[in-house]
Structure 1
Amino acid sequence: MAGRATSERTRTTRAAVSPTDIRNVVLVGPSGSGKTTLVEALLAHTGTIPRAGSVTEGTTVGDHDPAAVRQQRSVALSVASVLHDGIKINLIDTPGYGDFVGELRAGLRAADAALFVVAADEGREGRINPATVAQWEECAAVGMPRAVVVARCDGPRADLEATIAACRESFGAGVAPLYLPIRIGERLTGIYGLLSRTPPGQAPPGAREARAELIEGIIEQSEDESLMERYLEGEDIEFATLVADLETAVARGSFHPVVPVCAMGGIGLDALLEVLAGGFPSPLEHPLPPVCNIDGSPRESLSADPDGPLAAEVVRTSADAYVGRVSLVRVFSGTLRPDSVVHVSGHPAWGQTAIPRQRGADHSHDDDERLAHVHVPLGATLHEVDAVVAGDIAALTRLGSAETGDTVSAADDPLLLSCWDLPEPLLPIAVTARTRGDEDGLVKALGKIVAADPTLVLERNAETHQTVLWCMGEAHADVVLSRLRSGGAAGSGIGVDTEPVRVPLRVTLAAPGRVTGRHVKQSGGHGQYAVCHVEFEPLPRGSGFEFVSAVVGGSVPTQFVPSVEKGIRAQLQRGLDDDHHPVVDVRATLVDGKAHSVDSSDAAFQTAGALALREAAAVCGTLLLEPFDEVCVRIPDEHLGAVLGDLSGRRGRVLGTEADTPGRTLVRAEVPCTELLRYAVDTRAMTSGTATFTRRFARYDVAPAG
């Protein structure tokens, strides 16, 4: 009997038939808070898997090693589903480490509500970790409804009451417990429902006051204005009314219920499932992303209608050694069916970044492809289904052109969903193939990785001749390099080394001077003859190059004046030293010269112009220029002194500070780019992961001697 029930339950969790029966819940929280353990406990508790941990095991599309799958899931979002009272709950597990905020934002895009997981010992010092608060702010920034799970309530350092109080202090007054712990001595034996007052007769101390505070918080969000008056007059508000108003308050993002859970002991799991199924919004209640036609023309807003136009979005791309590319998609509108032709549209905007460099993948594309199979995911396992309706999450295999962020729509009615905001990767890592035989493999592997991870930027620097990966941090870089070297699911397995990142420098002239460029050669037959007298002078930073002709009397024929300019410009790009740094911020004035009626030519005067600039380097002297970026750092006020001191140590010039959000300060500074190569790592360590910063090119200025 139990075996049949488990089999049936597993089968029915594979696909939903209506958006009203779906809840998409993203689990958010720092590493070590217990998110993955909670997901596996819910799967085992509902009979979806035979035991906790099995979500990473079993028969998958590629028969992966369980340990490798678990490591992969720790740095990438994964999806598994449970069924509760006829409601399919898609649990989207996201990485907790700050380097993988891109995966978190993808999870938020796929979800309709967030379950914030906080360890029960996190509030022992009276405050929530600032990195945890930063993740809460990520959720708040996109208006995501949130509830809080206090996990590991039976741990040796657990302090549920202190953690709830710390959550309220850090997250706001909308945080309120739905349940209180029931203890025998120091041992946690269950939880007490404040709304349902169950189990009867086991109300812990303080339950009456906590229930009153909870009800008042819920009623404040009610659309029934008479409800508060009735409650204050002593009326016992119906349980069903309170639950309905609770769902409204959660959906608005103004009320955040707290559920204590002991995943390993099974305590609180039923209560949590009730909250997810009954208190969280369905896809019908969550706003959909704006949509337009693929030519950018406006289009009517979509709704989560299975019969509407097909609109799905790729929220994650991975590679399997057996089936190739696997695209995890959220279906916003319409229905995905096997053996149908779909249109895959990429985003031109995702090919642009704040720093002027180029993404390695072409995110602007339009392709028609036929779907062979449609699956729903259970961790690493994919179950084939006949259809996936609006509001649900699907996995598509062998969708060759699809990249993370792409829109999947009907081939006869293509459209484009607006993309979500991407964090800017700010840690550069220069990579090089270990051998010549690895060069082609490196190019192909980089293309696959960048297509799957939009937070990774690939730069091929024409000046330094380096291939640079811009990553979110050291952990992100380690994962990317590991995938390149081991091959991972993509099967690349190539030799890759790293080298120090080189910053492009510039050269300018130190002083004005007049020089002569002379190119005279006679080797029998047609010779070469060109002489030009040029005055060079340095210009203010950022002026570029100016060319002026002050020739009188035709000493340099008119047709050869542009030749002199062309020769100087070519030498500016080639540089004046062995490092070939381009020359900038110079004015060249052609004042005189000589020509020969037979031997002068365009090529001769180009060479003479180039020689004039090289001579100017010896006469005028040169200065080495380095690039400066304008950096904007947002930090908690407590770290302001440390950040200002660090910027000064990096030869930075602070432009000013100003108040940002409450408790945070914005610092603006100009810093040499050579001092920013590891700033993403250092500033995270300096501020416990609470600082964010942006950078953009400001100018070139004189580099220190030596």
Structure 2
Amino acid sequence: MTGKGTQDSSKGTGRGGAEQRKAAASSGPPASQPEKIRNVALVGRSGSGKTLLAEALLAATGVITRMGTIDGGSTVSDSDPSEIHQQRSVTLSVLPLMLGEVKVNLLDTPGYADFVGDLRAGLRAADAALFVVSAVDGVDAATTTLWAECESVGMPRAVVINRIDHPRAGYEAVLAACQENFGASVLPLAVPIRNNGAITGLLGLLSGIVSDYSAGGTSPTQRPASEAEHADAEPARATLIEGIIAESEDETLMERYLGGAEIDRDSLTTDLEIAVVRGSFFPVLATSAETGVGMTELLEVLTGAFPSPVERALPSVTDLDGKPVGPLTCDPDGPLVGEVVRTTIDSFLGRVCLVRIFSGTLREDSIVHIGGHGLTDRGHQDHDSDERITHLQSPLGATLRPVPYCVAGDICALTRLTDAETGDTVSDREAPLLVEAWEMPEPLMPVAVQGAARTDDDALAKNLGKIVAVDPTLRVEHNAETHQLVLWCMGEAHAEVVQDRLRAQGVKLETVEVITPLRETFAAPAAARGRYVKQSGGHGQYAICEIEVEPLHRGAGFEFVNKIVGGVIPGHYIASVEKGVQAQMQRGVSAGFPVVDIRVTLVGGKTHSVDSSDAAFQAAGALALREAAAGTRIQLLEPVSAVTITVPDASVGTVMTDLSTRRGHMTGTTSVADERTEINAEIPDAELLRYAIELRALTAGSGLFRRSYLRHEPVPPHVVPAAVSV
């Protein structure tokens, strides 16, 4: 490809060759022109080889001296303690490299469904996505889900089929699967060249040049393709040219091509690049991160085909009052607007915020405004404060390098901030702005935790605030009914990472079974007398009340009716009885759960001129309700949620069968786009505690669901013992 001043793959050197690339990769001044920046998210399911591919690119450009290390020993992916422990990428990491004058920020995103929040943050900071698919594992439901995430934000993409030289690789089959799942606009730019069954090079379909990697390394030798190689590649070449022409804005191009005219390579390359930026054409590249095959071609696409920040629309912004502000442009001289896309807590540096600058230039020692992000429901308070930027850094994985400024389109790290969290806006303090928030996934798996000992509870509460600050997908609930501390997580892996982070802070904790907040109600009418009489010398206590209790329909709440006649209970004690009844309702009358949906009628009682009091009648009212409950059957009620489950059409039967085992009641199904179905159901909350995990298992990782509280319903008799024992 030759557009945007990139190298011609037929030369195999790219902007002066591998040696110049390595020399340019050394730490130098920050980027100063948005046109010379590429922000590229690496996207792919776990095991596709994203991180290894990133390291191969860093090694190819001289940023690191050997695979797996940065600056002599710090692993690329070691940006989070949980990644070291669990050997998997769970957080967003930025890996910059230089290709001549072009700076490429690689944003390595997690491939686990539990960490889709970091994936969305990476897509927010990026202008294009490099979609990595393993030539060994191919395309599965999790891969198509990730593709849909990219598609939902209109992200330009290229597909990398990695690990092509693995003994079990099936490049052609995986390419066909990509085209079947992602569309006909997924077309290769090169085809593998094999020698004795092994892939030793790539034939560029537009250039007709073979890049020979048989000698090893990332800088291949170049030679013209042989007649046999040309003939073998001709069908793929014709399909590629037709695909490019179909996306061309030149309506005469197809007619000329079909008429036998030779379309020049420069025109095809230009049209291809325009289509990639537009997000309607997705070039495919073949690589091996371990051996370096395809690295030169991939580097070319990063700089030549992917858009710069000035070619992408920026998020909408408002002032602090919510009034829309005119559209931003990626201008270093424009108003300062940046967004925190990731936050971490470092034991030495404090709060470290990864910031994408959309407009203006952020300079060290400047004072900026930190604006809130609207995630108060998850424990993230809105911010409205000014802070001085004392440490401005360029991130390289876990390594930070000081820089004096960061221009529009680039990504930087800010350390030692006080308030900023993921989703916050960084702007000029004289003209503060707020960037429209991106959609965060809803955590749907509850995990109850407590200190390993009572003395550990304070440490848990103190450090939990730090964890919440760095993870907007985590929601913390202090349940007033069950008295449990519940962490709402994205799934089991997310829960493990949260606990690992807490333990890394020195917190000793343990998980306990989540208690479903049930309710109690009266199953039949009842009547009782509450007698609270104490005479122990001196001023006593005297209160007697008689009540009738009857159940109401679900959702009716509580009614208190006064039918006292003749003044047997003075009016100022009537409210005391009601207050005592309500207090007992909160404490429960059978299994310790709040009582709901009853009518209590006060029908009689007695008082004493000296010993009666407000406290005595409150106690009598509470006692009367307990006595009434003892004389009738108490019905337990469980919360039921309205659930919408989105699954591939092929999984509908499996999911519906599973719902029947969860006491679910299906209310309807709806066909949606991309051969998917929405299943609407009503399901008891007790059956949803681990549904986030189990739905993924049923649908190979592609199922999603959302829920909302609907009502409380009676717990079936065969479930009652388990429900009460929780």
TM range (shorter): over 0.9
The reply to whether residue 544 of structure 1 matches residue 557 of structure 2 is yes
The aligned residue for residue 95 of structure 1 is 110
CA distance in structure 2 between the partners assigned to 1:63 and 1:17 by the alignment: 29
Report deviation, 1:602. 2.9
Residues 501-550 of structure 1 deviation map (CA, whole Å, 9 limit, x = unaligned): 11111111111123223334445555444333322101111211111223
For residue 294 of structure 1, what is the aligned residue in structure 2?
Answer: 320
Task: Please name the residue that 2:574 is paired with.
Answer: 561
Is 2:86 aligned against 1:83?
no
- Are the structure 2 counterparts of residues 57 and 507 from structure 1 closer, same or farther at C-alpha, using a change threshold of 3 Å? farther
Matches within 5 A, 1:72-471: 74-123=89-138, 128-199=139-210, 200-202=224-226, 203-348=229-374, 350-352=375-377, 359=378, 361-471=379-489
C-alpha distance in 2, partners of 1:569/1:473?
A: 38
Q: Which residue of 2 aligns with 1:673?
A: 685
Q: CA deviation at 1:7?
A: 7.1
User: Could you report, residue by residue, the CA deviation over 1:107-136 in whole angstroms, capped at 9, with x for unpaired residues?
Assistant: 11110111100111344xxxx211111110
- Alignment partner of 1:243: what SS? helix
For the 8 Å contact 2:343–2:353, the answer to whether it is kept is: yes
Q: Distance in 2 between matches of 1:317 and 1:477?
A: 18
One-letter code of the match for 2:311?
A: E
* Range 594-603 or range 534-543, more displaced: 594-603
For the residues of structure 1 that align with 2:712 and 2:142, how far apart are their CA atoms?
A: 35
Per-residue CA deviations over 1:585-629 (Å, capped at 9, x if unaligned) read 101122333344444433333222222211210223311222222
Match of 1:620, SS state, is coil
Pairing partner for 1:495 from 489, 508, 524? 508
Superposed CA deviations along residues 264-288 of structure 1, whole A, max 9, x for unmatched, are 2222111111111111111111121
SS of match in other structure, 1:396: strand
C-alpha distance after superposition, 1:134-172 (max 9, x if no partner): 110111111111110011111112221211111000111
Contact conserved, 2:370 with 2:387, CA < 8 A, in 1?
A: yes
| Superposed CA offset, 1:539-593 (max 9, x none) | 111211111223334333333322222221111112114x521111101122333
Contact conserved, 1:56 with 1:380, CA < 8 A, in 2? no
**Separation in structure 2 between the aligned mates of residue 119 and residue 599 of structure 1, nearest angstrom:** 82
Kindly provide the amino acid, as one letter, of the partner of residue 185 in structure 1: N
Q: Within 2, Cα distance between the matches of 1:511 and 1:575?
A: 16
Q: What is residue 598 of structure 2 aligned with on the other side?
A: 586
Q: Which residue of 2 aligns with 1:27?
A: 42
- Alpha carbons 2:29, 2:403 under 8 Å: kept: yes
Secondary structure at 1:55 match in 2: coil
CA displacement 1:258-315 (0-9 Å, x = unmatched)? 0111222222111111111111111111121111112322222211111111111111
Contact map agreement 2:23 2:62 (CA 8 A) in 1: no
Q: In structure 1, what residue type is equivalent to 2:371?
A: S
Q: Tell me whether 1:629 sits opposite 2:641 in the alignment.
A: yes
The question of whether the paired residues in 1 share the 8 Å contact of 2:445 and 2:690 is answered with yes
CA contact (8 A) 1:60 1:382 kept: no
- Provide the C-alpha distance between the structure 2 equivalents of 1:64 and 1:423, rounded to a whole number of angstroms: 22
Q: Return the alpha-carbon distance in structure 1 between the equivalents of residues 324 and 566 of structure 2.
A: 63
Amino acid at match of 2:225: G
Deviations 1:218-257 (A, max 9, x none): 2222223233233333333332222221122112211111
Q: State the SS of the aligned residue for 2:63.
A: coil
The 1:81–1:420 alpha-carbon spacing in structure 2 relative to 1, beyond 3 Å, is same
Distance in 2 between the 1:204 and 1:107 partners? 40
Q: What's the secondary structure of 2:673's corresponding residue?
A: coil
SS in structure 2 opposite 1:271?
A: helix
Runs of 4+ in 1 over 6 A off after TM superposition: 1-4, 59-68
| Residues 1:137 and 1:67: Cα distance change in structure 2 (over 3 Å) | closer
Query: Could you give the per-residue CA deviations for residues 437-460 of structure 1, whole angstroms, max 9, x where no partner exists?
Result: 322221122111111011111111
CA distance in 2, matches of 1:8, 1:39: 18
SS in 2 for 1:227: helix
The amino acid across from 1:236 in the alignment is E
Residue 510 (1) aligns with residue 523 (2): yes
Deviation at 1:319, TM superposition (A): 2.2
2:76·2:397 contact (CA, 8 Å) conserved in 1? no
Secondary structure of residue in 2 paired with 1:54: coil
- Which letter maps to 1:451? A
Q: Percent of counterpart pairs with the same letter?
A: 57
Distance 1:7 1:149 in 2: 23
Deviates more, 1:49-58 or 1:271-280: 49-58
Correspondence 1:655 to 2:667:
yes
Q: CA distance change for structure 1 residues 615 and 436 in 2, over 3 Å: closer, same or farther?
A: closer
- In structure 2, how many angstroms separate the alpha carbons of the residues matched to 1:309 and 1:376? 21
**1:373 corresponds to which letter in structure 2?**
H
Indicate conservation of the 8 Å contact 1:9/1:48, yes or no.
Answer: no
Kindly tell me the number of residue pairs found equivalent between the two proteins: 688
Change (3 A) 1:239 1:260: same
Measured in 2, the distance between the counterparts of 1:85 and 1:160 equals 31
The amino acid across from 2:272 in the alignment is L
Counterpart CA distance in 2 for 1:64 and 1:331 is 21
Unaligned runs of 5+ in 1: 353-358
The one of 569, 572, 575 equivalent to 2:588 is 575
Contact conserved, 2:22 with 2:60, CA < 8 A, in 1? no
Q: Secondary structure at the match of 1:342?
A: strand
What corresponds to 2:11 in structure 1?
none
Amino acid aligned to 2:548 = E
State the shift of 1:215 in Å.
1.9
* Maintained 8 Å contact 1:57/1:66: no
Contact kept? 1:505, 1:624, Cα under 8 Å = yes
Relative to structure 1, the CA distance from residue 48 to residue 395 in structure 2 (aligned partners, 3 Å threshold; closer, same or farther) is: same
Give the TM-score normalised by the residue count of structure 2.
Answer: 0.90
Indicate conservation of the 8 Å contact 1:515/1:612, yes or no: yes
Q: 2:288, 2:537 → 1: CA distance?
A: 95
Determine the structure 2 residue equivalent to 1:356: none
What is the root-mean-square deviation in Å for CA atoms of aligned residues?
2.5
